[in-house]
Amino acid sequence: MKKITIGEAARQSGVKVPTIRYYESIGLLAEPERSEGNQRSYEPSHLHRLAFIRHARELGFEVDAIRTLLALQDDPNQSCASADAIAKARLIEVEQRIRSLTALKAELEMMVEGCGHGRVDQCRVIEVLADHGQCMHPHH
Amino acid sequence: MKKITIGEAARQSGVKVPTIRYYESIGLLAEPERSEGNQRSYEPSHLHRLAFIRHARELGFEVDAIRTLLALQDDPNQSCASADAIAKARLIEVEQRIRSLTALKAELEMMVEGCGHGRVDQCRVIEVLADHGQCMHPHH
DNA sequence: CTACATCCTCTAGTGACTAGAGGTGCAAGA
DNA sequence: TCTTGCACCTCTAGTCACTAGAGGATGTAG
């Protein structure tokens, strides 16, 4: 058995030590066995779990969604419709967010370009903020 | 004088009532006068401020940045270099975020497309999550 | 044996709100 | 005048996904 400490698990998974403990506390990661001195002792299965969680978090899935995805992973006979739905929902969110950020980008660019680098009373940044009517993009 | 209640201010500014009180509590919005019955009584200047804050928040500026921008607005003689810098920093953030989300979008699309809508053990969504090596995009 | 890193638990803080409890003010209709 | 009912008040606590720090125990290298 190649049991490892929480620090080593953190190093190998890229998830920080307090975050690993946090995942355990919210029931996302199973409680590992403990050493004689009460220190957590992780097995490879925990590392796989951590990698899964980390990747899902990087993709922006919420903890609740990850909980569902993990449950699905544990039951390979199940239909993957739920996993599909979760991923699709996340995709729609991401697309929405990109659209909205692209509109923001355009508005910010206009503000920054319009700034004459002079005094505040001619500054387009402040002006546009103060008067939303000057914003061309109906992003909000 | 056209003083208005907090509810009316909320309606006109699009900022929710508790949020207005929150902005006051953190010193972003000046404390308004009170009626005899201790109710907040807002003037047009407060509404302009709220509109400014709301627009800035929609553009993703943090409260601290907004504090700075508001201070600049109050002092029109000042150089607008700070406002310019804040907007530019935000623009860079937004561009970064768009790039990162675009990479995520590609990965999510591959996951969703690859899903055969069958059982979990053939599901690409779960598979890709479990094995980051299958992810083509070096977004993280 | 002694440093010293790493581990433990627990509490509290982050940002920007949001929700709820428990109470007061105010305007309109009966 | 009373009452209905909404809007307002303050205060505390909850949200999400962590992060920071206190105060102490354990494990390991020299």
Q: How much is the average pLDDT of B43-64?
A: 94
B26, B51, B78 - which closes a domain = B78
Question: Do A138 and A111 lie in a common domain?
Answer: yes
Residue A137, pLDDT above cutoff 80: no
B85 falls within a domain: no
Residue A117, pLDDT above cutoff 80: no
Question: Do A73 and A40 lie in a common domain?
Answer: yes
A84 falls within a domain: no
Question: Do A94 and A73 lie in a common domain?
Answer: no
Domain count across chain A: 2
A74-83, A92-101, A125-134, B98-107: range with lowest mean pLDDT: A125-134
Question: Do A64 and A103 lie in a common domain?
Answer: no
Candidates A88, A90, A123; nearest CB to B80: A123
Range 16-45, chain A: CB under 7 Å to any strand D atom: 16, 18-19, 22, 35-39
Residue A127, pLDDT above cutoff 90: no
Question: Do A67 and A99 lie in a common domain?
Answer: no
B26, B44, B78 - which closes a domain = B78
B84 falls within a domain: no
pLDDT for A33 equals 96
Q: Nearest residue to D19 (CA, C1')?
A: A18
- The model's pLDDT over A66-105, given as tens digits with 9 standing for 90+, comes to 999 999 988 878 888 888 899 999 999 999 999 999 988 9
Question: Do B102 and B37 lie in a common domain?
Answer: no
Nearest residue on chain A to B48, judged by CA atoms?
A: A130
A85 falls within a domain: no
∠ CA A138-A93-B19 to the nearest 5 degrees?
60
Question: Do B7 and B41 lie in a common domain?
Answer: yes
pLDDT for B91 equals 93
Question: Do B53 and B5 lie in a common domain?
Answer: yes
Candidates A77, A87, A119; nearest CB to B112: A87
Question: Do B73 and B131 lie in a common domain?
Answer: no
Nearest residue on chain A to B108, judged by CA atoms?
A: A91
pLDDT for B92 equals 93
Q: How much is the average pLDDT of B93-98?
A: 93
B83 falls within a domain: no
pLDDT for B137 equals 53
Residue A138, pLDDT above cutoff 80: no
Chain A nearest CA to B71, separation (Å):
11
- The model's pLDDT over A18-32, given as tens digits with 9 standing for 90+, comes to 999 999 999 999 999
pLDDT for B77 equals 79
A4-13, A49-58, B102-111: range with lowest mean pLDDT: B102-111
Q: How much is the average pLDDT of B68-82?
A: 86
Question: Do B53 and B94 lie in a common domain?
Answer: no
* Residue B50 burial (10 A CB sphere; 0-12, 13-18, 19+): buried
B42, B58, B78 - which closes a domain = B78
More confident call, B125 vs B47:
B47
Residue A140, pLDDT above cutoff 60: no
Question: Do A9 and A70 lie in a common domain?
Answer: yes
CA distance A14 to A12: 6
- Report if CB B39 to strand D is under 7 Å: yes
Average pLDDT, chain B: 88
- The model's pLDDT over B11-27, given as tens digits with 9 standing for 90+, comes to 999 999 999 999 999 99
The continuous run of DSSP H or E covering A15 comes out as: none
B56 falls within a domain: yes
pLDDT tier, A116 (very low <50, low <70, confident <90, very high otherwise) = low
What percentage of chain A carries pLDDT values higher than 90? 57
B113 falls within a domain: yes
CATH of the domain at B65: 1.10.1660.10
- Report if CB B55 to strand D is under 7 Å: no
Give one DSSP letter per residue of chain B, joined into a string: ---B-HHHHHHHH---HHHHHHHHHTTSSPPPEE-TTS-EEB-HHHHHHHHHHHHHHHTT--HHHHHHHHHHHT-TTSBTHHHHHHHHHHHHHHHHHHHHHHHHHHHHHHHHHH--SSBGGG-HHHHHHH-GGG------
Question: Do A116 and A96 lie in a common domain?
Answer: yes
Q: Which residues of B touch A123 (CB under 8 A)?
A: 72, 80, 83-84
**Domain carrying residue A107:** 90-140
What percentage of chain A carries pLDDT values higher than 70? 90
CA distance B47 to B50: 5
